[in-house]
Structure 1
Amino acid sequence: MIRMLLRVLGDDYAWPVRRTMTLMTAAAVAEGLSYALLVPVLRALLGGDPAGAGPWLTAFGAAVALYAVLRYASDLSGFRIGTTMLRGLYHRLGEHLARLPLGWYGADRVGEVSVLAGRGLLSAMSVIAHLLAPFVSACVTPLTIVAVMLAFDWRLGLAALAAAPVVAAVQVWTARSTAAVDAERHERDRQAAGRVVEYLQAQPVLRAGGRTAERFTLLDDALRELQRTSRRGVLATLPGAVGLTLVVQAVFTAVLVLGARLALGGSIGAAEVLAVLVLAARCADPLLSLSDIGGGLRAARSELVRLDAVLRTAPLPEPRRPQRPAGFGLEFDSVTFRHGDRTVIDGLSLSVPQGQRLAVVGPSGAGKSTLLQLLARFHDVDAGAVRIGGVDVRAISTETLMAQIAVVFQDVYLFDGTIEENVRLGRPGAGAAEVRAAAAAARLDEVVERLPGGWAANVGEGGALLSGGERQRVAIARALLKDAPVVLLDEVTSALDPVNEAAVHEGIERLVAGRTVVMVAHRMRTVRRADRVVFLDRGRIVEEGGHDELLRRGGRYAAFWDISTAVRMPAGRPDGPGADR
């Protein structure tokens, strides 16, 4: 547990954590030794020499004061390290997430990272701030008391010491018996949280379809499963808690019986027996608290395991001697890329000369968007090479590579801030005139004029207060402001209305002018303007050439064109299917 905590925290926190643990251990030992002084105090008070108890009472008071100082120092150190650690862990997790390949962020990663950034980090902090001190005290204080009892009378000490292996065995057994239930509870918790988010996000669709009752059932089922799992978790810990109580009470009874027998036999006096029973009682209290402390530590350890797994995920390696691209031509050289067991790109070779536009079309799942992701190094290829300006993207530093590329996705995410702040993400140091010029080129100025607050208008979380077309205009303005020599477009107009599509196309034409462009497109209006078209299927290039050339061949691309234009235009019109042929 401690090793995992130190691994998660990093080297910067190793010494402060060890120092805090030393203080906690010293405080627990001081507590046990202070109880040991009760033996001579009670012996004097009950042995006919009450005045002789004075020095021992003074020593007892000093020991209690020392314990109080050490406990205060250890608790204060734990809280300080916990709060400092929480801040440091947020930075460490954020920096690590920023270096992970973007391909790592699958559909289920957002929820997982959100839980880790909240409950996971708080659990890590709770170990050092709230759980470690009681755990150390529950372990060290009884052992110190048992050591005193051994020094006082080895028979009574051995009787008390017999509890140690049994208590340890009960704790290990409880941890093993609850491990599966804890994992299931975490999964049920994640599912229930997902159902809640899904239910809230889907309200417009559910109400339009009149199916709110069904959704309530799904959510209720998830919450009921979580409740059942939580109940099983409580029942799984119950035998351990009861067993621990029985062991402690049995050992206390054994010490009591043995002490009485020794006293009746004349081996020790009544005062000594009373003192030993007081010590045994002080052993019992912290041992009984181990059940609750152990449960908290097990829950925290589960979160630490998940946090450790994320932090140990290897980021894409940075080149030791970064190179800069000599130009902005693009090349795929016998590229193979696999996602799990599926081969997404299969031995693909392709080049895009500097300043030209390449359109990539094909059916869903053909690997079109993956090509863009490999160019931006969201993933590393399994075989072959992806080059920009003749240099393998793996040999270019991430900062340099990202400076050369502007990406506009189909699904645009905007940060909860103003329109101007979101546009400035393209180049934070740009002047106000440059931001306005980029916005005008993307026809974003039309949106700004009609929004209350203008440039200071808030876009909401994810851009929720803007329409899809308005978010695309923000993304294009951001890319224009960045002014990168390579532009990657991923189906940016596939879900827009005609008015927004026309505005976005106008912005795209300004964006791609004079740049090297790779565009994934379903809308044929975009494909026509490409210098070259490749038709992709199952990760391989089936056809390539110019738009008109591919139509004349009458192959896969021509069939795809006919289907696409038939969907877009009514049959029989002059610009209907086959008009360009």
Structure 2
Amino acid sequence: MIRKVLRLVPDPYRGMIPLYLATIVVYALAQSTAYVFLMPLLDALFQGDLVTAWAWTAGIAVAVVVVFVTGYRQAVQGLKIGTGMMHSLQTRLGDHIAALPLGWFGSATAGRVSRLISSSVKDAMGVFAHLLTPLVTGILVPAGVVVGMLFLDARVSLAMVISAPLLYLVNRWGQGVYSRAEARAHTAAEESNSRVIEFAQAQPVLRAFGSATTGNRGLQNALTAQRRVGRGLVFASVPGLVVFSFLVQLTFIALVYLVISFASGGTLSVPAAIALIAVSSRFIDPLNQAAELSTAVRGAANAADRITELLETPTLPETDAVVQPRDAGVRFTDVSFAYGSGERVIDGVSFTVPAGTTTALVGPSGSGKTTLLRLASRFHDVDAGGIEVGGHAISDYSSTTLMEQFSLVFQDVYLFHQSIAENVRIGRADASADDLARAAEVARVDEIVERLPEGWDTNVGEGGTSLSGGERQRVSIARALLKDAPIVLLDEATSALDPQNEAAVVRGIHELTRDKTVMVVAHRLATIRHADQILFLDQGRIVERGTHDELLAAGGRYADFWNERSRASGWHLAPASDAVDAAATEAVR
């Protein structure tokens, strides 16, 4: 178990571990030495041999001094290693998460990462900060007592040795039960954390439908499951501790019985018997302490497993080569892709987006349109085929260089718990005030800023909760305008916006895509009509391609799609009386 945690210690602190462990060993052996010296000390005192008694007293005094000095040193060293380990792990986890494929992040990611960085890292560093010393002393002190007793009374030492394997097996059984229960508890905690975050972010939806307190069944189920496995964790820890404690006390009773028997039979002096009973208690107490701490150490080992699992999650392979794009073209060649071990969502797709042109991706829901945008920006690596940007495979670019080529405007807009200015500047941190103002004017973010009490410095809340969906989309457009990348990946989200916000967003999109290479998941008829190339997808394949006029003339899937969209765009609400009259007229016919 300890080895799992040791592997997570950063290199600058790894060299401290041998001295730290040696200090703990000396600390434990000094304690056991003081206990063992008690028997000859009492024997000498009862016999009136003061010279010998003083000699043993001096030995105990030296052992006590060693205990104090090494106890202080190991505490300082353990705390230094633990705090250094915590800082290093949080930094490593943060850097590793930043290098993971964007597709790794999902609905449960926030709860998992939060649990790891806060709870699991703390559990792991606690091994050095306050768990390892009592655990090691709980083993070495009894072992030292047993060895020391060989020179004083081998019969009692033998009895101690006989009890050790049984105690070890019982403790190991109890820890196995606890470990499995702890793993279930951690999984349940991750799920409930994710659901709580989701519940907080989804308040507008829940309240809109009157379900703020009763509608989130997922959260209720997650909390119920966490309570259930939490109780299971308590019950799982009880049997092992109870059985182990019972055996420990039984061992102590057996040792006391042996000592009294030896004293009654005349083979052991009364002072020696008193000392042996005291020493036996010091053999027993550390074992109890070690058993209680071993559950915490097991939990820390499980935490180390989870941290290691995340750190071993493959990141996107990075190249050391310095590659720059020759143009802003994009090429897909026989690309196939599946999420995890599921069915393919992209199957043998090939197409080219020449620099400076617009390609619209059209098709039914689930046909793979958004996935193509995400593959182009390397949210995931493809399973087969290849994607080129600017004449080079996207895997030939560093992540930074690749992402410099793209401005991404997707349907899900996330704003940080910061000011509007800081959220827009994510597009380009070193942008001047004039650049910021121009981007805001084009995306009409300036209208939002003017009505807010603190203007640009207004905090938008977590996820941008103080802004409407259309206003968040405007900020997203302003970000992309400020970045001014040569390729725009656009998943339009204007269908659910009110006319004012839609007009602002469309204006921003037009400016954003001017003279750029554009791949757009098209929702608006105007966008589809003016695209240089239209790809109609179904079940991850391109089933039709061409310009708007060419596809309409072909009379295929795209033509049906266009006609349905055209009819839907002309719908309107009629007064109830008109609707009734129309229905009656139709019935007469």
CA distance in 2, matches of 1:213, 1:570: 36
Question: CA offset at residue 51 of structure 1?
Answer: 5.2
Partner in structure 1 of residue 172 of structure 2 = 172
Q: Which amino acid aligns with 1:99?
A: A
Quick one: structure 1 residues 199 and 509, their matched pair in 2 at CA, closer, same or farther if it must change by over 3 Å? closer
CA distance in 2, matches of 1:381, 1:217: 36
Matched, 1:259 2:259: yes
Q: What is the correspondence of 1:236-385 to structure 2 with a 5 Å cutoff?
A: 236-339=236-339, 340-385=341-386
CA distance in 2, matches of 1:218, 1:84: 38
Partner in structure 2 of residue 60 of structure 1 = 60
Question: CA offset at residue 4 of structure 1?
Answer: 1.4
Q: What is the correspondence of 1:35-74 to structure 2 with a 5 Å cutoff?
A: 35-50=35-50, 52-74=52-74
CA distance in 2, matches of 1:373, 1:4: 36
CA distance in 2, matches of 1:329, 1:150: 82
Say if 1:424 and 1:481, in contact at 8 Å, map to a contact too: yes
CA distance in 2, matches of 1:492, 1:225: 37
Partner in structure 1 of residue 546 of structure 2 = 545
Question: CA offset at residue 433 of structure 1?
Answer: 1.6
Q: Which amino acid aligns with 1:460?
A: G
What do residues 295-352 of structure 1 show as CA deviations (whole Å, max 9, x unaligned)?
A: 2122222222211111111111112434222221110011111212210111111001
CA distance in 2, matches of 1:49, 1:452: 89
Partner in structure 2 of residue 15 of structure 1 = 15
Partner in structure 1 of residue 184 of structure 2 = 184
Q: Which amino acid aligns with 1:570?
A: W
Partner in structure 2 of residue 470 of structure 1 = 471
Partner in structure 1 of residue 439 of structure 2 = 438
Say if 2:8 and 2:85, in contact at 8 Å, map to a contact too: no
What do residues 125-176 of structure 1 show as CA deviations (whole Å, max 9, x unaligned)?
A: 2222121122111111111111111222222111112222112101110122
Partner in structure 1 of residue 582 of structure 2 = none
Q: Secondary structure at the match of 1:289?
A: helix
Say if 1:410 and 1:494, in contact at 8 Å, map to a contact too: no
Question: CA offset at residue 468 of structure 1?
Answer: 1.4
Q: What is the correspondence of 1:59-208 to structure 2 with a 5 Å cutoff?
A: 59-208=59-208
Shifted more, 469-478 versus 351-360: the winner is 469-478
Q: What is the correspondence of 1:213-228 to structure 2 with a 5 Å cutoff?
A: 214-215=214-215, 222-228=222-228
Quick one: structure 1 residues 360 and 18, their matched pair in 2 at CA, closer, same or farther if it must change by over 3 Å? farther
Q: Which amino acid aligns with 1:396?
A: Y
What do residues 181-213 of structure 1 show as CA deviations (whole Å, max 9, x unaligned)?
A: 223323333344445445545555445544566
Query: What is the aligned-residue identity percentage?
Result: 45
Q: Which amino acid aligns with 2:491?
A: D
Quick one: structure 1 residues 239 and 132, their matched pair in 2 at CA, closer, same or farther if it must change by over 3 Å? same
Q: Secondary structure at the match of 1:277?
A: helix
CA distance in 2, matches of 1:472, 1:205: 18
Q: Secondary structure at the match of 2:319?
A: coil
Partner in structure 1 of residue 570 of structure 2 = 569
What do residues 467-514 of structure 1 show as CA deviations (whole Å, max 9, x unaligned)?
A: 112211211111111121111112232432221111111111111111
Shifted more, 340-349 versus 317-326: the winner is 317-326
CA distance in 2, matches of 1:333, 1:223: 47
Q: Which amino acid aligns with 2:132?
A: L
Unmatched tracts of structure 2, length 5 or more: 575-589
Say if 2:111 and 2:191, in contact at 8 Å, map to a contact too: no
Matched, 1:560 2:561: yes
Q: Which amino acid aligns with 1:429?
A: D
Report the TM-score when normalising by structure 2.
0.92
Q: Which amino acid aligns with 1:33?
A: T
Say if 1:6 and 1:13, in contact at 8 Å, map to a contact too: no
CA distance in 2, matches of 1:223, 1:572: 44
CA distance in 2, matches of 1:232, 1:38: 44
Shifted more, 493-502 versus 449-458: the winner is 493-502
Q: Secondary structure at the match of 1:379?
A: coil
Quick one: structure 1 residues 408 and 22, their matched pair in 2 at CA, closer, same or farther if it must change by over 3 Å? farther
Quick one: structure 1 residues 505 and 221, their matched pair in 2 at CA, closer, same or farther if it must change by over 3 Å? closer
Q: Which amino acid aligns with 1:557?
A: Y
Q: Secondary structure at the match of 1:360?
A: strand
CA distance in 2, matches of 1:144, 1:378: 58
Quick one: structure 1 residues 373 and 459, their matched pair in 2 at CA, closer, same or farther if it must change by over 3 Å? same
Quick one: structure 1 residues 318 and 203, their matched pair in 2 at CA, closer, same or farther if it must change by over 3 Å? closer
Question: CA offset at residue 281 of structure 1?
Answer: 0.5
CA distance in 1, matches of 2:567, 2:472: 28
Question: CA offset at residue 357 of structure 1?
Answer: 0.9
CA distance in 1, matches of 2:289, 2:312: 34
Question: CA offset at residue 373 of structure 1?
Answer: 1.0
Quick one: structure 1 residues 80 and 435, their matched pair in 2 at CA, closer, same or farther if it must change by over 3 Å? same
Shifted more, 561-570 versus 75-84: the winner is 561-570
CA distance in 2, matches of 1:503, 1:476: 10
Question: CA offset at residue 233 of structure 1?
Answer: 2.6
Partner in structure 2 of residue 398 of structure 1 = 399
CA distance in 2, matches of 1:83, 1:268: 51
Q: Which amino acid aligns with 2:321?
A: R
Q: Secondary structure at the match of 1:300?
A: helix
Report the TM-score when normalising by structure 1.
0.93
Quick one: structure 1 residues 122 and 565, their matched pair in 2 at CA, closer, same or farther if it must change by over 3 Å? farther
CA distance in 2, matches of 1:196, 1:124: 25
Say if 1:162 and 1:251, in contact at 8 Å, map to a contact too: no
Q: Which amino acid aligns with 2:480?
A: A
CA distance in 1, matches of 2:6, 2:526: 57
Say if 1:329 and 1:354, in contact at 8 Å, map to a contact too: yes
CA distance in 1, matches of 2:522, 2:515: 19
**RMSD after superposition:** 2.3
CA distance in 1, matches of 2:370, 2:388: 17
CA distance in 2, matches of 1:41, 1:62: 14
Matched, 1:230 2:230: yes
Partner in structure 2 of residue 479 of structure 1 = 480
The number of equivalent residue pairs is 573
Say if 1:206 and 1:212, in contact at 8 Å, map to a contact too: yes
Shifted more, 224-233 versus 159-168: the winner is 224-233
Say if 1:173 and 1:240, in contact at 8 Å, map to a contact too: yes
Say if 2:493 and 2:523, in contact at 8 Å, map to a contact too: no
Partner in structure 1 of residue 450 of structure 2 = 449
Q: Which amino acid aligns with 1:472?
A: Q
Say if 1:160 and 1:252, in contact at 8 Å, map to a contact too: no
What do residues 415-459 of structure 1 show as CA deviations (whole Å, max 9, x unaligned)?
A: 111111111111112222222222222221121111111111111
Question: CA offset at residue 572 of structure 1?
Answer: 13
Shifted more, 92-101 versus 16-25: the winner is 16-25
Say if 1:8 and 1:311, in contact at 8 Å, map to a contact too: no
Shifted more, 513-522 versus 206-215: the winner is 206-215
Partner in structure 1 of residue 410 of structure 2 = 409
